[in-house]
Amino acid sequence: MTTLYEGAFAKLNLTLDILGKREDGYHDLQSVMQTISIRDDVEIDVGTGKPWKLLCSDESIPTDESNLAWKAARVYCDTLEKDPEGLEIRITKRIPAGAGMGGGSADAAAVLRALNRHFGEPLSIMALAELGAQVGSDVPFCTLCGTAMVEGRGERLRKLPDMPDCIFVVCKPDFSVSTPELYRKMDQVAIAHHPDNRAMETALLAGDLEKVCQRVYNVFDPVVTQEHLELNYIKSICNSYGSMAQQMTGSGSAVFSILPKFEYAAVVCDMLKTNYPHIYIAKPV
């Protein structure tokens, strides 16, 4: 038996735009995504000689075949015709669920990377990301990691220059958002403002943190904030204590802020932690 270890890194959407609804019912997106240092830990025992099994430190997470990490292992082994001769996946959760931070996708991506390494890396990282599209929309990016432009349903990736050095504070309020329900709402409203992804890419190329922060925008944010005004409270606290940008990530409900120094991040956390226990400090990865 061999034990594999892999980090599963959370993601943030620096920008997120909806370009339109597709014939298959999904939506075409365009998003600049960033991995951050908040991570789950994934361990995989290969060659257990026993039926497949998944364990998770968070009891609210399903541990059957519906778990994306399990699906990723199945897609990898079936596609490449690899027999792991029994497999056990153990996930130590730190990425909050229902936050828009890609926790389940990150776990699935970690499984893909670990199995690919175990079997001698028959797939390049981009081919592995392409395989991840069969598991979930955020899995391709979570497989690649770093900073990237993500398009289509999430299957089209293009690496971008690294995020300039900064500190993220991420705050997850108590509520979560139904992603399918949010998309239905988006189909019924006119999107008043779209992110300028070309300008965001230019800012990243220049390594200009201030200009990057000026281009942070998520079209979901106003719709969710309209029903959950506490997001404005979180953002106002961040803004009052040195945040250069603050925005919801993904379909929510976590809000991230970008700060130039750790000292500012520590103050923001101190101001929010009484009302919001799920608060994190992170770096770009």
Which residues are identified as catalytic?
Answer: 11, 138
- Letter string b/e over residues 153-172, b meaning 16 or more CB atoms within 10 A of that residue's CB: bbbbbeebeebbebbbbbbb
Q: Label residue 49 exposed, middle or buried (CB < 10 Å: 0-12, 13-18, 19+).
A: exposed
Helices (H) and strands (E) in the chain, counts: 10, 12
Percent composition of the chain: helix, strand, coil (DSSP 3-state, to 5) = 35, 30, 35
Q: Collect contacts of 256-261 with beta carbons under 8 A, ≥24 apart.
A: 256/12, 256/168, 256/169, 256/170, 256/171, 257/168, 257/169, 257/171, 258/166, 258/167, 258/168, 258/209, 258/212, 258/213, 258/216, 259/166, 259/167, 259/168, 259/169, 260/166, 260/167, 260/209, 261/167
**Bond prior to 253 in cis (omega within 30° of 0):** yes
